[in-house]
Structure 1
Amino acid sequence: MNIAVEHIATDQPPDEAKARDLDYGWQSGNQVELLENGEAYFPRVFDAMRTAQREILLETFILFEDKVGHELQGILIEAAQRGVKVVVSLDGFGCGELSAVFLAALADAGVMVQMFDPASKTLGIRTNWFRRLHRKIVVVDAEVAFIGGINFSADHLGDFGPEAKQDYSVQVTGPAVADLHHFALAQSGRQVRTRRGWRRRQQRPSPWATDSGEGLVRLIYRDNLQHRDDIEEAYIYALSQAKKRAVIANAYFFPGYRLLREIRNAARRGVQVQLIMQGQPDVLLAKLAARMLYDYLLKDGVVIHEYCQRPLHGKVALVDDDWSTVGSSNLDPLSLALNLEANVLIRDRAFNQQLYDSLETLSKNHCQVIPAKHKPRLWLWRLTVGFLVFHVMRHFPALTGWLPAHKPRLKPFESQAHD
């Protein structure tokens, strides 16, 4: 059996797509709904796919052959068989364990499957660690979009057990869906019909909308070309504008010095700054790295919670009463300096309150507060190691320039599978 699968071996589609490397502005009049964990996310996105009439565009970092993956596979096959155009873009590292049989079922039904930067194992180990397609986006019929941090895997469901992830996504309807649709098409290498008003802007839209009306949404993303720092800059700018409160819940927290300084400065001027970190991490190194920064932040009044019920996988934040962000980007060197990421910025009081209430419930009921005079065992050794690691990681983006970069091209290929 021949499987027609395209491998995307690039940070972007082909050279002609560079003209579509746009700065998406704020769109008003949207409806945004918070979807917490797989229990809320999967039914909503699966229902949208089941009723699709024309097109499904899907990007994900992880797709597993578990109950969630098999349900998704069945929905996509059924959609393709009834004539819906289905384009699925998967990351070669996160989806590296998918079987040829699983992919063949999709391809035989007419689903266009694309794999970003695949690589075979070396001595049984995957080596394509860097510059991953880490986005999680679904757009259905250019009418409804989903974006956040939730992958298509059963470990986002509570019945997975103690290792089930705590995570967030959003459903967007309204004018901003056109931007998400345009972006997903461009990134998948599909033909994009440019509408009036979509053009490269001389100045990028501000991360803080000039109007504070309801339902304002802006797509921001990170690539390794023209938009390397967009997500980080959005966090920095929003924190610089904070007047009352700022809450950041992030799974992998080891940002650069500029963002750390802005968090500290907000607390110094009286903003109630709260960080929610992993207390029961799926990656132990993530917890150790974050803890190296605690003393720097605690001494200026930042309140740090560690979520201890299960692994935290969320990438969300809010500032004051109406600014929020939800997406795929962690605040660590991989997300801020290497991976392909996408977030939405949201100016909406109702959504901000919904997210705040969810995070407040999390922090009050399932977190431990790190004492302001936190001094762990072997603190002098930790301080020394932390100082060295912090400054190495501070220059991590520059160091990654030594790594080989992918050339912007699409490489179709055929893989063999047998029943």
Structure 2
Amino acid sequence: MNLQWRSGNRFELLENGEQFFPRVVELVGQARTEVLVETFILFDDKVGRQLREALIAAARRGVQVEVTVDGYGSEGLPQEFVQGMTEAGVGFHVFDPRPRLLGMRTNWFRRLHRKIVTIDGRIALIGGINFGADHLADYGPEAKQDYSLQIEGPLAGDLREFAREALAPVRGRGPRLRRREPPQASPYEEGAGRLVLRDNNHHPSDIERYYRAGIRAARRDILIANAYFFPGYRLLRDLANAARRGVRVRLILQGEPDMPAAKLAASMLYEYLLQAGVQIYEYCERPLHAKVACMDDSWLTVGSSNLDPLSLSLNLEANVVVHDTGLNTALRDSLERLIAEQCRPAPLPARSGRKLRRMWTGVFVFHFLRRFPAWAGYFPAHRPRLKTFQAKEFDQAQVQESV
């Protein structure tokens, strides 16, 4: 498929599961011909069961329904959960199903981390929200803060075409994507957007390159909220250079992380960024799961990609980059509210430890960030592989035998 800028789109920002989940169920209920769902995590909880019932109802009224989950993220689904869908005619696919070894999961690398829903080729949703109750506030202190984007227009058609072609490994071939190209200049038309991918073939660094292009083009303001922040050296350098040339650069990172190691990794970068003039805020209300950014008055991105080695060098990811003033304002307003009400400024390392921290960052961390994309090629790699399950076929033994 031809990935390019599409004009004439309409967008709506959806914040957290309270807005996202009802919208998905509503749109699935309105579908007439096709529903495609890709997600990293689908849980057998109140959210997953509600989606399951909507998908079953759609399939029973003749809609073609295809669901793809990641074999690592959605490993624990029970047989009964999947069987009810396949018996109703839902196509159920698992990306990279692998057996446990001595009780440990073995499919650590090359995860399908995308979160895409398309309805009849006319409406699409993309973002960072998985189908689990931990994206709802009533889940408690561990409920996640995140965003998704609803798209109507030509860009929704591109997401549908991509999601459709991503099922091609079931039929023995891969998506027909154009090879790597430089970040294209935007037409700067209101409502213009394009799909940006990261894969292990033709688009290994596209999302990072579009982030960097947006940072370098910014003249006034950069505001990034990202759950797992440990990007490559070049992106860090672009952020620091933007702050030094007078751009207000603000980062919202995890203050109450679901994975403490993520906060530790990000904190190793604080001194370098703070000394360049970057403002860093830690979100402390609950775990931050967002993967969004807005720059100046119209540029923004929403998607599944974190700014860490897994997302930027290993996982299969999908973002959209958009030029839309109204959407930029809506996202910026939400992030400004987080800063004002639920964040604290990140502290500089204590003076007694700053010399050691500077040495650690300079010698190890930055060397790692310079070299990781090349090193990632040594991790286990394989072609995108899907296992499709038919009625009464899915159970954990089948998953393990499929490898």
Alignment TM-score, normalising by the size of structure 1: 0.88
1:173 aligns with 2:149: no
Once the two structures are superposed, the pairs formed by residues 362-377 of structure 1 within 5 Å of their partners are 362-371=338-347, 373-375=348-350
Of 66, 69, 72, 1:90 maps to 69
1:299 maps to 275
Question: Following superposition, which runs of at least 4 residues in structure 1 exceed 4 angstroms of deviation?
Answer: 199-203, 408-414
Shift of 1:390: 3.5
What residue identity is the alignment partner of 1:342? Answer: A
2:330 maps to 354
1:115 maps to 94
Q: Residues 392, 165 of structure 1: CA spacing in aligned structure 2 closer, same or farther, 3 A cutoff? A: same
Once the two structures are superposed, the pairs formed by residues 251-270 of structure 1 within 5 Å of their partners are 251-270=227-246
Hey, what's the Cα distance between the residues in 2 that align with 1:358 and 1:173? Answer: 22
1:4 maps to none
1:225 aligns with 2:204: no
Q: By percentage of residues, which structure has more helix?
A: 2
Tell me if the contact between 2:128 and 2:147 (Cα under 8 Å) persists in the aligned partners.
yes
Q: Residues 380, 112 of structure 1: CA spacing in aligned structure 2 closer, same or farther, 3 A cutoff? A: same
1:314 maps to 290
Shift of 1:45: 1.1
Shift of 1:23: 4.3
Q: Deviations over 1:282-315 (max 9, x none)?
A: 0001000000001111111100000000000000
Hey, what's the Cα distance between the residues in 2 that align with 1:200 and 1:134? Answer: 18
Hey, what's the Cα distance between the residues in 2 that align with 1:166 and 1:143? Answer: 27
Which secondary structure state, in structure 2, belongs to the residue aligned with residue 139 of structure 1? strand
Hey, what's the Cα distance between the residues in 2 that align with 1:71 and 1:37? Answer: 16
Hey, what's the Cα distance between the residues in 1 that align with 2:37 and 2:387? Answer: 19
Of 221, 228, 237, 1:245 maps to 221
Q: Deviations over 1:98-133 (max 9, x none)?
A: 111211111111110000001111122112111000
Hey, what's the Cα distance between the residues in 2 that align with 1:296 and 1:334? Answer: 22
Hey, what's the Cα distance between the residues in 2 that align with 1:401 and 1:190? Answer: 21
Hey, what's the Cα distance between the residues in 1 that align with 2:201 and 2:345? Answer: 39
2:104 maps to 125
Of 136, 142, 151, 2:121 maps to 142
Hey, what's the Cα distance between the residues in 2 that align with 1:340 and 1:270? Answer: 34
Shift of 1:241: 0.6
Hey, what's the Cα distance between the residues in 1 that align with 2:227 and 2:95? Answer: 23
Shift of 1:384: 4.0
Which secondary structure state, in structure 2, belongs to the residue aligned with residue 399 of structure 1? helix
Shift of 1:204: 3.5
Alignment TM-score, normalising by the size of structure 2: 0.92
1:41 maps to 20
Hey, what's the Cα distance between the residues in 1 that align with 2:22 and 2:377? Answer: 41
Aligned length in residues: 389
2:401 maps to none
Once the two structures are superposed, the pairs formed by residues 145-224 of structure 1 within 5 Å of their partners are 145-189=124-168, 204=181, 206-209=183-186, 211-224=187-200
Hey, what's the Cα distance between the residues in 2 that align with 1:291 and 1:417? Answer: 41
Q: Deviations over 1:248-291 (max 9, x none)?
A: 10000000011001001111110000000000000001000000
Shift of 1:403: 2.0
User: Equivalent pairs: percent with the same residue?
Assistant: 54
Q: Residues 416, 322 of structure 1: CA spacing in aligned structure 2 closer, same or farther, 3 A cutoff? A: closer
Q: CA RMSD in A?
A: 2.1
Q: Deviations over 1:195-252 (max 9, x none)?
A: xxxx97688474540x322111111111000000110000111111110100010000
Once the two structures are superposed, the pairs formed by residues 2-13 of structure 1 within 5 Å of their partners are none
Structure 1: gaps of 5 or more residues: 1-21, 193-198
Of 346, 368, 374, 1:398 maps to 374
Hey, what's the Cα distance between the residues in 1 that align with 2:62 and 2:306? Answer: 37
